[in-house]
Amino acid sequence: MACQITFKDHWVQLNNRQFSNLIAFAIEVAQASVVDSEVVYVDRMKRMRDECLWPGRGIEIEEDFPDIPERKFWSRIFLDTSRAIFEREVGSHEHTYWQAQAIHQAHSTGLLFECAVRDSEPRWSADTIDRREFERVVNGIE
């Protein structure tokens, strides 16, 4: 069975195992980088995982995440999750066949949340690990 993460006419398609893993990885990344004001978002995602997200039921960003600050948070977290998979910080890395697709799904989900933010704040971009690294390199700080 498959599910989708959607915003308006955009979506990320996943099977149920991929979706479950993506949410678990995102929660793990979030817990490692969360600040006090964001704990409520992680707790809410855990509740959703445990009570609302069943096989075939994905995420409809407009309905499930109506608040812009939470959309911003999850945009950053999903984008950072793609980096964490690449860096082998989350997931089982005994086998690598799953990594490229999982990185794509996490990154695409982060961009989808970013799109949901840009619907009301067109110039907004997530403050991700990759973006900060890029700015350090471009500005010659490294």
At residue 14, the 3 state secondary structure works out as strand
* pLDDT given for residue 2 in this prediction: 87
**Dist CA 124 CA 78 (whole Å):** 16
Q: What is the dihedral of CA 54, 27, 34, 61, to 10 degrees?
A: -40
Query: Do residues 116 and 7 make contact, with C-beta atoms less than 8 angstroms apart?
Result: yes
How do residues 112-141 score in pLDDT, each as one tens digit?
999 999 999 999 999 999 999 998 998 887
**Dist CA 18 CA 21 (whole Å):** 5
Tokens representing 83 are 């980096």
